[in-house]
Amino acid sequence: MSIAVLLMLLAGAFYSFQQLGNTQSSASSQTTSSTSLSSNLGIPTTSSTIKAYLKVASSLNSGNAVIEKTISEGFKLVGISPYVYGGGRTDASVAKNEYDCSSFVAQMFRLGGQSLVYQYAASTTLLAQTGNSVSWSNKARGDLLVTAADATENEQHVAIYLGDGYILHDSNSTDGVNISKLTDVINPSVLGDMTWQQLFEAGVVRREV
């Protein structure tokens, strides 16, 4: 969401990661079911992308408490928090889990123990300036992927990188908070065959922790 649109919406409106259990050394433990991992991570297994993520999730832990807590809080909203344009910037809206992409990222990091921006002012423009810049090839779990400054209103977006090509984000195209693969096509009816990777690679990567 752009600052210009945000200011219009805000006129007068102020306002665990549960560590995976020790993996058993037997061959069967290496094929832990998606159902078991889903329970540990608090993610509903509702799509092939989520099922694929769950298969590699145990190998992606960053070892950083803030990053893992942030992602854990976001996982709690997968499949249950709808995308609400302009949402997540008042106490009442946050209480209802109403977020758009930038307010979702800001609030999850806040819950993770690190404030990035004032919640009422969350925007892709501001998030593109937080933390430190890293190259696309060096992106790591917990980094923010933010679209380019010249992205159109339909393209503006921010996501939390999970590792291994997966992102956690809140998008109208994903019906709210969800996990996507960077190679997924975003929305054919709006952006043609553009993938999340094509969208974000033209932007910036910000390391917050």
pLDDT tens for each residue of 37-54: 455 456 666 688 999 999
pLDDT, residue 30, reads 33
Q: In angstroms, rounded to a whole number, what is the distance separating the alpha carbons of residues 102 and 117?
A: 10
| % of the chain with per-residue pLDDT over 90 | 70
Across residues 162-188, what is the average pLDDT?
94
Structure tokens given for 179? 């996990």
- pLDDT(118) > 50: yes
pTM above 0.75, yes or no: yes
Of 53, 76, 58, 46, give the one whose Cα is nearest residue 19. 58
Average pLDDT estimate for 195-201: 97
pLDDT at 41: 59
